[in-house]
Structure 1
Amino acid sequence: MAAKQKTLQDAFYETLKDVYYAERNSVRALRKAAKSAQADELKSAFETHAEESQNQVERLVQVFESIGKPARGKTCEAMQGLSSEMDEHLEDFQGSPAADAVLIAGAQAIEHYEISRYGTLKTWAAQLGYQDAARLLEETLAEEKKTDELLTQIAETINVQADEGEGEEQDAQPQKRRASGSRK
């Protein structure tokens, strides 16, 4: 007997489980990022989005309910990788002028992943006739885009500060090289 052909409905459910896991993981990553952020504005943005993400997890439960499926997650390798990379950057750049800049970069990588997943799920939900699910997913998609835009705005200031902090070190380097070069 041949294996059952996978359908768009199957893809929707599997991707929904993936994003459910990812969103729950995102809440933890955002809380950790908030504790690590140096700039008050960034810390506040992470704290706010962590709360918003918790609401998004609850909204995903409603999506599962609307399609008559149990809310359960499936390990999301992409989110694990993005979270792991963010942890590495936190460790490598802790206390440096670029610490907040790399935090924003890591958070935006997560946001962009979520934006792509929610966009796909919203489109599939509409195609499958899951109007309630499509509406709920659109609400979350809009929040994710808004957070990404906010992080970009914050980054514009943070990146300048990080560059100025690094610029002082870079300015000192050529002087050291010239000084050591003149001894030859």
Structure 2
Amino acid sequence: MKTLADAFEHTLKDIYYAENAITKALPKVIKKVSHKQLKEGLKEHLEETKDQIKKLDEVFKSLGKKPSGEKCDAIEGLIKETDSVLEEAEGDEALHAAVIGCCQAIEHYEIARYGTLREWADVLGKNKAHDLLTEILDQEKAANSKLTHMAVSSVNEAA
């Protein structure tokens, strides 16, 4: 990477890979949890993530690039950690609290990436990309907020 545009494209490929990896990992988590609100929230977020991939396709198109991913070690690690929690947690209450924690770690990563990408798009004058990335960033922040509310309103105390 020699320029901000190079960094932007590299990071865009990174988050594209991450979102696709999340769509493959979430069904396993959804299947494992029994907390109704958590299960429904994860199902909704899976659909939202699929929509975000479509928005990322539009970002690539706006740049004149073909959508593609580049292996993201960070998301691989976060998914691996989530898989460990699914295997190690004993009791539904602890599992639900730990899953929310894992999901929030993923959301925080996404928020960081989308925030960076959005600002880079602005500096690079990529208005369409900026608008789409802002939409996704807002969705990620809302998802994180829902997880926090769920954790503090019912899940954590039950655990």
Q: TM-score range with shorter-chain normalisation?
A: over 0.9
The match for 1:69 is 65
The TM-score, its normalising length taken from structure 1, stands at: 0.84
Structure 2: how far apart are the matches of 1:18 and 1:124? 15
Pairing partner for 1:100 from 75, 81, 96: 96
Q: 1:7 aligns with which of 3, 7, 16?
A: 3
Instruction: State the match for 1:134 in structure 2.
Output: 130
2:77 & 2:18 partners in 1: Cα distance?
A: 11
Secondary structure in structure 2 of the residue aligned to 1:98: helix
Residue number among 28, 31, 34 corresponding to 2:27 in the alignment:
31
- Using the TM superposition, give the Cα deviation of residue 95 of structure 1 relative to its aligned residue in structure 2, in angstroms: 3.4
User: What is the CA-CA distance between 1:30 and the residue it aligns to?
Assistant: 2.1
Residues 138-162 of structure 1, C-alpha deviations (whole Å, 9 max, x = no match): 0000000000000001111100000
Match among 120, 124, 130 for residue 120 of structure 2: 124
What displacement does 1:29 show?
2.2
Instruction: Kindly indicate whether structure 1 or structure 2 has the higher relative contact order, using CA contacts under 8 Å at least 6 residues apart.
Output: 2
1:154 aligns with 150
Determine the C-alpha separation between the residues in 1 that align with 2:93 and 2:13: 38
Per the TM alignment, residue 17 of structure 1 is displaced from its structure 2 partner at its CA by 0.2
Instruction: Report the count of equivalent residues.
Output: 158
Q: Give unpaired runs (5+ residues) of structure 1.
A: 163-184
Measure the CA separation in 1 of the matches of 2:3 and 2:126.
Answer: 15
Structure number with greater Rg is 1
What per-residue deviation string (whole Å, max 9, x for no partner) do you get for residues 146-179 of structure 1?
00000001111100000xxxxxxxxxxxxxxxxx
> What percentage of aligned pairs have identical amino acids?
46
The residue that corresponds to 2:86 in the other structure is: 90
CA RMSD, aligned part only? 1.0
Moved segments of 4+, more than 3 Å: none
2:97 and 2:10 mapped to 1: Cα distance?
A: 34
Matches within 5 A, 1:39-50: 39-50=35-46
Cα distance change, pair 32–94 in 1 and its aligned pair in 2 (3 A): farther
Alpha-carbon contact 2:34-2:92 (below 8 Å) kept? no
Post-superposition Cα deviations, 1:105-163, rounded to whole Å, max 9, x if no partner, equal 0010000000000000000001000000000000000000000000001111100000x
- Deviations for 1:2-23, whole angstroms, at most 9, x for unmatched residues? xxx7000000000000000001
